[in-house]
Amino acid sequence: MNEWCFCGNQLAFSQCCKPYLEAKAYPETPEQLMRSRYTAYALGGHGEYLLKTWFPPMAKTLSVSELSEKTHQWINLDVLGSGRKDTEGWVEFKATYQEKNTKSILHEKSVFTCIGHQWFYIGGEIK
């Protein structure tokens, strides 16, 4: 499968987010984690990955089955900026999605933390 990755990174899916979703590699930056999480939502069926990359104290009420549901048609991802300092990071993005016949944009500034060698999504501020 050499199609472009869903995250819009201009790389083949097999060279971009697929290794993360298949647990063959870990994202090395907050932006890589955010892009792979977007891809997991876009594809659906990757609730286990989403839960494993969520900061555990913030994911207590979430389930694999809930996170595996594909409730939106994700259309496009635009990363507006990202950064990191030591074990803390952030990514600001706009994600376009369609629900029924309505297109909407999710604008979020997400925050991340790194524990050991793995980045985790903590949460985000909706803009």
Q: What is the CATH number of the domain that holds 83?
A: 3.10.450.50
Q: How far is CA 34 from the centre of its chain?
A: 4
Q: Does residue 8 lie within any of the structural domains?
A: no
Number of domains the chain contains: 1
CB atoms inside a 10 Å sphere around CB 80: 12
Q: Does residue 3 lie within any of the structural domains?
A: no
Distance between CA atoms of residues 1 and 81, nearest Å: 29
Residue 13: per-residue pLDDT: 96
Q: Does residue 81 lie within any of the structural domains?
A: yes
User: pLDDT 10s per residue in the chain (127 long)?
Assistant: 458 999 999 999 999 999 999 999 999 999 999 999 999 999 999 999 999 999 999 999 999 999 999 989 999 999 999 999 999 999 999 999 998 889 999 999 999 999 999 999 999 999 9
